[in-house]
Chains A and B, each alone.
Chain A
């Protein structure tokens, strides 16, 4: 080819450069699917709603009268283990003008601990 016709080499070279840039743009677009998947999977995997829900039910359980409290506590711990595959443990004690709650949550992937003070 080089010996047949030497004209228009710059144009052909620029054509190659343009096609190169298209190729790399295609690479970027191709990656976007994978990025979407990674993001969605990490959102699904992180138990944000579970932790919030457990916090709120523990908070509600403080208003339950004391002999029933142990029942509710066992409900939360046992049902969490059985239906959500997560270890939930909590304890609380009251001091002057404040209630301190210690929450432990672990579903095997995410571990969450909290010291929570309610004035």
Chain B
């Protein structure tokens, strides 16, 4: 094969033309979807995991014994002190977890129960801020078995679903 250094600029021009075509095709194909980091739901995933973990920790009895858990006690009593305890515990596990600045997490908690007519009712527990409808919330839930139906105390065990809506402000 004869060594020949000629025609290099033509090669360069060919490369340039190819590059321009590739970029054009790439831009056209991608034009319909513009992704930014905020669109990727990574924050939602982390917030949901955080909320689920917080509820799970609230549903563990001290020293992992078989006794009543804080969450069960709160749902069963549901007096103003219990509601305040829910807020304190939940914000401790989510908003102030660790040291340093707060994490700007707000929540709205309620529980769902089945009444005597098989209707599902939603009973508010407490919130750290009123929902205005503009928040981007995620939901974390936890089942608990308590001696409580809807609103009124039941003499026997019932399963209720604690639901927490979380968002960052």
Contact = CB atoms under 8 A, between A and B. Distances in A.
Contact of A40 (B41, B118, B142, B159): B41
B40 interface: yes
Interface residues of B, number: 41
Given A37-B41, A74-B114, A78-B114, A16 B159 contact: no
A58 to B, nearest CB: 9
A40 B157 contact: no
Nearest to B10: A2
A68 B41 CA distance: 41
A75 B159 contact: yes
A76 interface: yes
Contacts of A49: 48-49, 52, 140-141
A65 B147 CA distance: 12
B48 A44 contact: yes
B112 interface: yes
**Residue among B16, B23, B35 with the most chain A CB within 10 A?**
B35
B132 interface: no
Interface string B40-60: 111011001100100000000
Contacts of A43: 45
Interface of A: 1-2, 6, 9-10, 12-13, 16, 19-20, 23, 27, 33-34, 36-37, 39-41, 43-44, 49-50, 53-54, 56-57, 60-61, 64-65, 68, 71-72, 74-76, 78-80, 82-84
Interface of B: 8-12, 15-16, 19, 22-23, 26, 35-37, 39-42, 44-45, 48-49, 52, 112-114, 118, 120, 140-145, 156-161, 163
